[in-house]
Structure 1
Amino acid sequence: MQTRTSITRIVLTDDDVDDQFFFQMALRQSGEKAELHVFDNGILLLEALIKGDTALPDVIFMDYNMPCKNAVQCMEELRQHQHLQHIPVIILTTGMSPAEMEKVYQKGATACIRKPHDLSSLVQLIKDVLANKLTAREPIFCL
């Protein structure tokens, strides 16, 4: 993996505090230089990014099933704003139907990935995404 000297800005949008903690722990263990911003739901994410309350992230990890606005609704709104269209969005899910997956890709998701259930898998996922292995804007679904 190529060594980066700059800090990667990551956004995690997930309503589950346990999943938030799990992600933060995995990010620390990954050894990646990263600044993490966590949002509890899609509305807070969109408000911050659209209004410019937070620096634009290099990548967004987003839970598929969230209250207020789910991933499809968030993707739809994100991609309406030109300054947000380039940001890779990795959808994390405990499961989705092929129709749901197709819809999220149609709205501009970079990848749909089943949420890892163990820390080492999540650490590897973070490393792969930050090494640009999963941001090719091609449909990817890992089970």
Structure 2
Amino acid sequence: MTTVKGDLHPSIQKFKEFVRQHPKMVHDVRNGKKSWQQFYEEWYLLGEQDGVWNRYKVNGEIVPPPVQEESEEKLGDFMGQMVSFFKKIDVEQVQQHLANMTTAIGSVQQVIQQFQGDQTTKQQRNSENNPFFFQKD
């Protein structure tokens, strides 16, 4: 919702205003019950006057949510998402991926060492075979 109103399609501007009048819609989206796309399609098909929308008003009044509570709620949602993410992690898979990465990094290091080793041996051979090679003191 950081875009300028002039940049949005008029129907989207109307829908955003409708959402401000029905703040409980935000909770359903954050809880995963519905998506904004689903709400928009219902709003577009049913219209603003349908009785379905009454449950999304706060006591039948048009009250925008306070900004401070929204930021605290976002932080709580973020922490909840992080906890659920860590619960879903399979430790054995992570360990296997780390082992694969370690093996790959070791292989790359070996290739780099081989190329560096070839360059130093070539320089030594060239210096030994060149009769005009003089080392600096």
**Per residue, is there more strand in 1 or in 2?**
1
**Per residue, is there more helix in 1 or in 2?**
2
Taking structure 2 as the reference length, the TM-score comes to: 0.25
Taking structure 1 as the reference length, the TM-score comes to: 0.25
